[in-house]
Amino acid sequence: MFQSRKNEYRFLFSFLMLFSSLFLISTSVQAGYPGSEEAIIRAVERVEPAVVNIKTLWVSSHGRTKEGTGSGVIISADGWIITNAHVIRNARKIYVTLNDGRIFSATSWRANPREDIAVVKIPPNNLPVAPVANSLNLKKGQIAIAIGNPWKFRSTVTVGCISGFGRNVSMGDSGFAVRYKDLIQTDAAINPGNSGGALVNSKGEVIGINTLVFTGAQGSYAQGLSFAIPIDHTMEIAKEMMRSREGPQVKPWLGVHVQNVSPKMQLGVKSGVIIVRFPPDSPAREAGLRPGDIVVGVNLVPISSIKDMQAVINRLNPGDTIIITILRGMNKANVKVTLEGIRQ
């Protein structure tokens, strides 16, 4: 009888060990389920570095410089970024801030207002690139992660699910009206500033570009109705614009207000260009130039007038680093300045 009880205990112990092992395996598998915390964290870590903040400067009808913000997604190592057309609407200058804190001035940009898709180009400088999924394989109910910069809160993550497909929505005003087709609907929270950011699956792949929030008719309020343009369609339109040379003409910008030197100024030089002041966000000022500096050379080419200086700079490109030779008092110096891009 004792031997029988001993065998029963051994059987029970073996059964408990087997059950514990199966439980641990089950828990491990469950932890890797697409909706799990670990999977979401890994997905965010994979895509977040390639989601950028986009700041635009534009001029109002009253002649005042104003600022707009949105999001974008880096899709190529050579510096192309996808965003919404309404994010860069009327922009004269565009600045892109990466998740690692680096800031670039856009060298060119193009937009398709009808599709509300745009591309922005920055210099290729060791850039992270977002992996892209096939948005045709999505399923209702699967995890959806929105990454962007709502209300200037940089690099914000919200989580929801795919709520529906093929949604057609008309939005905008007479100046910028769009009839969106075949949008992805999600309940992941999207707010102003999220536009142009990434909608991501649990594998850390971009499935759409976050575009708008539906708030319902006037006097009503809708919740959990956010929409993204499928990434397949977005990439198709973006590649067309990347290949095209059409779009706003972006010229190189030094960022100085100047006037020609004249003998009446009694500055000790017969010719040159004197810096009077700087506009906002001037690359020349950031490089160390000051009001009162006299420009006498650009890239070792002698400069005697504004016309000379413009002729040299206009042959260059946004993103080029140039050498400005100046006279500051009795001293002569060379200052390196990286030209930015500005829309004509």
Q: Could you count the other beta carbons within 10 Å of the beta carbon of residue 102? A: 13
Q: Rounded to 10 degrees, what is the CA torsion of 77, 81, 82, 85?
A: -160
Catalytic residue among 105, 163, 195, 226: 195
Residue type, 188: A
**What are residue 275's DSSP bridge partners?**
258
Residue 289: C-alpha distances to residues 158, 235, 294 (Å): 43, 41, 10
Bridge pairing between strands 226-230 and 273-277: unpaired
Measure CA of the first residue to CA of the last residue in the chain; give whole Å: 99
State yes or no: is 116 an active-site residue: yes
At a CB cut-off of 8 Å and minimum separation 6, what does 238 contact?
75, 80, 82, 117, 119
State yes or no: is 257 an active-site residue: no
Pair 327, 304: CB distance under 8 Å: no
State yes or no: is 135 an active-site residue: no
Residue 106: C-alpha distances to residues 70, 90, 150, 154, 307 (Å): 14, 14, 21, 19, 26
Catalytic residue among 71, 105, 108, 116: 116
Annotated catalytic residues are 86, 116, 195
